[in-house]
Structure 1
Amino acid sequence: MELIKWFTPEQFNDALSSWAWIGLDGKTPLFTSVFGDVFFGAQDGVWWLDTIEGELTREWDSLDQLEAELNTAAGQEKYLIAELAHALEESGLVPGADEIYDFAHPLVLGGELEVENVEVTEMSMSLDILGQIHDQVRRIPPGARVDIQVS
């Protein structure tokens, strides 16, 4: 199974418009994990948008360092969620060319990191919605009571 996905600049533009709040200026999307986490090149290194946590971090000084880490089992598990991806493939759930794995109940809203919570969704739509969700969640005051209803 291929654990990374390649998309066009237009697809990334559509997908990342709702993530502007996180600070994407000066960063060029390179590829995604099969779960939609985005890897960016920038003048100061390589950045990782963790769409589960809603965090953007500078992880590597160079593309060579990124490649070396993604060629390790630990790197594949941390950044590509390899074990779950392989389990999904074995279950018969495989994303199409423009799709990624998506959590039906987003983890930031209490969903679980498990096969039963995963579906395939068009990448641009999935990332756009996740960006909106994370933007709203980050604005919730600490200690606020939130009732979440998922159908």
Structure 2
Amino acid sequence: MNDLTISPSGVDMDDLLSDWEWAMPEPLRPVLLTAMGDVFAQGESGAVYFIDMVEGMIKSVADDGPSFQSLLSDTKFVTDHMFPSRIIQLRNAGKLLAPNHVYSHAQPLVLGGNDDTDNVEVTDVSVHVGIHGQIHRQVKDLPDGASIDSIKIE
């Protein structure tokens, strides 16, 4: 599991999801950061959600913390949400994570980027999560295939 996640040490967990508030079903606090840049967060209700940076969606995955802990032992769940084979591929390509960094598409897929190794870079987790939240907020109401003239990143 250590190869599939990053340590939250040094990450401002109180601010990490501030650019995702527009999509939250309830106030959320990060509980697990994946090496691929996605976030598992727990709501005030106790429910645990998966914040998918590529899709720009927040999905409920467990009703409570113990249920979520149980899912982390499920090979299919881990494969579907943490992409171990992709992490191995990136490491074999020489892309190694520094502390507080995740794998991130240099050109986000939602903006036409390719999902290949050459389009993946190592990025600070706070920058990665923030930029993806801002991009997805701005494109959420556009139809598939719409032309995007500009994106504003703050």
The TM-score normalised by the length of structure 1 is 0.84
Mean CA deviation greater in 118-127 or 83-92? 83-92
CA RMSD of aligned residues (A): 2.4
8 Å contact from structure 2 (residues 103, 122) kept in 1: yes
Alpha-carbon separation, structure 2, partners of 1:3 and 1:45: 22
The TM-score normalised by the length of structure 2 is 0.83
Q: Deviations over 1:51-100 (max 9, x none)?
A: 11111111112333323323233212211011101111122211111101
Q: Deviations over 1:38-57 (max 9, x none)?
A: 11123242111111111111
| Residue aligning to 2:60 | 58
C-alpha spacing 1:125/1:59, structure 2 compared with 1 (3 Å): same
Alpha-carbon separation, structure 1, partners of 2:136 and 2:9: 24
| Residue aligning to 1:23 | 24
Query: Whose helix proportion is higher, 1 or 2?
Result: 1
* Equivalent residue runs for 1:33-72 within 5 Å: 33-42=34-43, 43-72=45-74
Q: Which letter maps to 1:54?
A: G
| Residue aligning to 1:134 | 136
Aligned residues: 148
Aligned identity (percent) is 28
> What stretches of structure 1 of length at least 5 have no aligned partner?
none
Alpha-carbon separation, structure 1, partners of 2:145 and 2:94: 40
Alpha-carbon separation, structure 1, partners of 2:22 and 2:10: 19
